[in-house]
Amino acid sequence: MSSDTDASKVYSAKEVSVLLGIQNTTVRKYSQLLEKAGYHIHKNELGHRGFFDKDVIVLRKIIELTKRPDMSLENAVNVVVSTDAGSDISKCDMQKSMTYQEILEDNQRLLKEFEDFKNQQLEFNKELLQQLKKRDDYIATKLEQRDQSLMNTIREMHDTQKLIATTKQPSKKWWEFWK
C-alpha cells in the first residue's frame, strides 16, 4: 500500500504498527473505533486500510491520551475525532511526525550505537576479568606465603617446646639434697 497519492505517502497497517511501536491488531482496533466515531480512513478496493500522515498522527495522539490514568480508549478516540473535526492536524504535529524511512534510519542508527556500546562493554568486561584474575592470583600467593609462615612458626614453637622439655631436669626438693 505504500503508494503515493497526491504527494502524500499511504502507509499500510503493518507500517503504521512499526512506526508507532504497537501491534498490528491494535492499529486495526483503533481504526475501527475511529471509523465508528465518524473518522474517515482510506480503504482500497479490497477493503484494506491505507493511512496518511494525518491518520498516523491521530493514532499517535490516541496512544498518548490513553497513557493518562483518567482517559479510556473510547474517550481518547472521541477527543481526537472532535478536535480533528474534518480539518488537518496542526502543522506543528505534521512537522514532528517522522516518515517511515526516517524512523527506519533512526532505528538503524540506534542499533549501531547499541552495537558500539555492547562492544565497549564486552571489552570493559574482559579487562575487568583480567584485573580480577590478577588480584585473585596475588591474594592466593599472599595467602600461601602466610600459611607457610604460620606453619614454620608452629614448627619452631613445637621444636622449642621439645628442646625445653628435654633439657629440663627434674628439680630436687631442698630436703633431698641431704639424703
What does pTM read for this prediction?
0.45
Q: Is 54 helix (H, G, I), strand (E, B) or coil?
A: helix
66 contacts: CB under 8 Å, gap ≥ 6: 72, 73, 76
For residue 67, is it within any domain? yes
pLDDT in tens, 63-103: 988 888 888 888 888 888 887 654 544 444 444 455 777 77
Number of domains in the chain: 2
Asked if residue 12 and residue 71 are part of one domain, the reply reads yes
- Asked if residue 117 is part of any domain, the answer here is yes
Residues 65 and 32 in one domain: yes
Residues 79, 154, single domain; the answer is no
Each residue's pLDDT tens digit, 6-20:
447 889 999 999 989
Query: 129 is in which domain, residue-wise?
Result: 112-166
* pLDDT tier, 172 (very low <50, low <70, confident <90, very high otherwise): low
- Helix, strand, coil % over all residues of the chain, rounded to 5: 70, 5, 25
pLDDT at 22: 92
Asked if residue 34 and residue 76 are part of one domain, the reply reads yes
141 domain residue, yes or no: yes
Three-state SS at 3: coil
C-alpha cell at 161: 617446646
Are 93 and 158 part of one and the same domain?
A: no
